[in-house]
Chains A and B, each alone.
Chain A
Amino acid sequence: MYCLGSVGLILLVLTVQNGYGVPDSAVWNKEETSERNYYTRYHNMTEISEWMEQMKRENPDVVSSLVYGQTYEKRNITLMKIGLNSTVRKKAIWMDCGIHAREWIAPAFCQYFVEKILQTYKHDTKMNEMMKNLDFYVTPVLNVDGYIFSWLNESTRLWRKNRSPGTEKCTCFGTDLNRNFYANWGMVGVSTDCCAQTYCGTKAISEPEAQAVTDMLVKMSGDILAFLTIHSYSQLILVPYGHPNISAPNYDELMEVGLGAAKAIKDVHGMDYTVGTSPDVLYPNSGSSRDFARLIGIPLSFTFELRDKGEHGFLLPEDQIQPTCEEAYAGAHHIISYAHDKAFYSSAATITAKLWATLLAACITTATLGRM
């Protein structure tokens, strides 16, 4: 009698249990009607700022914004915080775009990503669950000064760095923000020439933009499950670290999740994204935001390098914005789901399963002994 009850409950466990590694729920519906025209064009900083306000207005219960720093030219660095309200402190996913000014597809993706999660969370169970358990912190444009500069005219389009002025001895502008973080700063893959594209700054976190991100990450580090920083081009998913002789303690996990994301990307439009550390698949580098995130303990930290592989490079045509965003979304969703499920399902499920198994064993033993 007791045993029957136990067996029944075990069956309940098996149906209800939801470990990570379960295939992603339907996240990208291929038959979905076309996105609104807005998300198939590039937008300047004014438009993006207005769009952020509009997202807040249209979704006041789930979207808020936060100014978390100032650029060199004293502009606001703003993130959007997206998630269902909660009385308890929530875990977080961090995404930033546009740390390099000329990589226009990146801010376009951040916009697409926000729109997509807002569109889907009401009827997609998985996204709804994640919105309940997590907050998404999305910075559509991190290097605001650089981005604005790249929109000035055709000759500024390929600007990369921020817009802080050079030193006494050097009249060039700009520091490469993705070489300025406190992560093996200045060690490899950088230039100390302030005119160079990979100039790492006068010291680690010399740049206000890098300082702003650093402050937020340090404040939130215990809560951030995954850190995604979006770039272009080359079609890569990069895992920490950028230094060839240093490896992340969870390298295997990072590769596994990265490869899963690349598979999800390929399933959308057939595009190949290569996964690996930067020193393996691209070049060694230090001072990146991705490395800093991993160093302070954020377990899943990735750089996305979006389309293409060199044909258009930074000048990706607008008719490729949508397919690029669709595939990148699938990749990001894979990583975020993994991070979410790992935090919210793993330990509870394992312990519970073990207890059930023990109970059943005890029950059977008792019954058997009883009959003897």
Chain B
Amino acid sequence: MFWRLVFVLLILTVDHGNSTLMPKIGTEPSVGSGQLQNSFLPGLDNLTTTAKEGEVVEVENVMMTGVLHPSHYPARRAATVVQHYLNTRYGSPYRWVFLSTVHKGSAEDVTDIGRKYHLELTVQDTISNVSGRCSAELVFPEGAEQGAPQVNASCDELLQSNTTAQEEVFYQQHIASNNPVSGDNIPDSHGHMEPTMKPFWHLGGVASSFIMLRESNESTMYNMAQVANFTQLETENNQLRFQYHVLLHEMVSQEIIHWKLLVTWSPAEGVKVLQTELQPKCHCEVPPNTTK
């Protein structure tokens, strides 16, 4: 008897064959449970579900206040705005930074001003791969007109990386050129670009940062998707001048937004964007059954 029992147990143990265990069938989702990360003070999201034709349906957010979870979107969107700011201040054909990590963040409402964020983050220069830690304060202004966010940021080391030599060579190469340079689809569909186009790609990214900074709010997250084309214009005041057509990707709406920019640059003056022009979204496809 005893050994029979042992034998049965042995079989059970050794048999790793198909279990008929069914995965637990999920019950109906529990609504309104406390699964939201407890890293913010009261201000839980409320639902708005009524949508009229053509409306973007979004949850009516009471914005998160207090300590922010560093890997959740409020801190990351704000940190991306800081990235755009840093590129407008320090970017060049040889310096283009991207957000690496958010270490800490907090947000508060400031009466009559707007929403103020404090952030600790690390950014990395995509060209030299040098990383730097930054502290930043940023305000998303309140009010209907919603002006551009205001940013104050300081970073250690990072922006001291020496790009002078490369920039000077690049500048000299193009400043007196009788061969104005141009290019398109940078990167191309497969992610490629000619090595000579790279600095123009960086420059497009930095110039785009001016628009991305200006257009950003707490419900957006911008990246430059592609330089559709650029053309070198005549040098003026010792500044290289370019006409750029860039495609921006706005993550929350997933839209691709076209902008034309007039951009100048020199090692001394840095990048400036003199004019911006939003290009209309082209709904130019003909539906298949058009007979007229």
Binding site for B on A (CB under 8 A): 2, 5-6, 9, 12-13, 16-18, 41-42, 88, 90, 133, 151, 154, 157-158, 160, 165-166, 171-173, 176, 186-193, 195-198, 222, 224-225, 234, 241, 244-251, 272, 274, 276-277, 279-284, 294-299, 309-318, 320, 343-348, 351-352, 355-356, 359
Contact = CB atoms under 8 A, between A and B. Distances in A.
B274 interface: no
A186 B51 contact: yes
Contact of B53 (A90, A192, A313): A192
A195 B55 contact: no
Given A246-B29, A315-B188, A348 B15 contact: yes
A246 B30 contact: yes
A280 B6 contact: no
Instruction: Give the one of B26, B190, B224, B251 with max A CB within 10 A.
Output: B26
Given A16-B13, A248-B26, A344 B19 contact: yes
B25 interface: yes
A224 B23 CA distance: 8
Instruction: Give the one of B10, B12, B57, B225 with max A CB within 10 A.
Output: B57
A355 B9 contact: yes
B30 A247 contact: yes
Interface string B9-49: 11011111011011111110111110111000000010101
Interface stretch (B134-142, B253-261, B262-270): B253-261
B283 A172 contact: yes
B6 A9 contact: yes
Given A281-B73, A295-B29, A310-B223, A187 B49 contact: yes
A27 to B, nearest CB: 20
Contact of A359 (B5, B24, B26, B251): B5
Contacts of A343: 19, 21, 23
B106 to A, nearest CB: 17
A197 B254 contact: yes
Contacts of B49: 187-188
A347 to B, nearest CB: 5
Given A5-B6, A12-B13, A171-B287, 9 more contacts: A13-B13, A158-B256, A188-B58, A191-B253, A246-B30, A297-B26, A313-B224, A352-B9, A355-B12
Interface string B144-173: 000000000000000000000000000000
Contact of B255 (A172, A197, A346, A347): A197
Interface in B42-91: 45, 47, 49, 51-59, 69, 71-73, 76, 80
B104 interface: no
B126 A187 contact: no
Nearest to A291: B29
6 contacts: A158-B226, A192-B55, A196-B253, A198-B254, A315-B188, A344-B16
B16 A18 contact: yes
B56 A315 contact: no
Given A318-B191, A344-B18, A355-B9, A245 B71 contact: no
Contact of A311 (B12, B18, B126): B126
Contact of B6 (A244, A309, A311, A359): A359
B87 to A, nearest CB: 12
Contacts of A298: 23, 26
B62 to A, nearest CB: 11
Contacts of B55: 191-193
B12 A348 contact: yes
Contacts of B98: 309-311
B191 A245 contact: no
B236 interface: no
A250 B30 CA distance: 11
B105 to A, nearest CB: 14
A295 B31 CA distance: 13
B37 to A, nearest CB: 6
A105 to B, nearest CB: 9
Nearest to B49: A187
Given A245-B32, A245-B45, A309-B98, A222 B187 contact: no
B101 A248 contact: no
A224 to B, nearest CB: 8
Interface in B113-140: 126
Contact of B29 (A160, A247, A344): A247
> Which 10 A/B pairs are nearest by Cβ-Cβ distance?
A317-B191, A247-B35, A310-B223, A197-B254, A297-B25, A193-B54, A297-B26, A315-B187, A246-B29, A315-B191
Nearest to B12: A352
Nearest to A189: B58
B9 A359 contact: yes
Contact of A249 (B15, B22, B29): B29
B178 to A, nearest CB: 29
Contacts of A88: 18
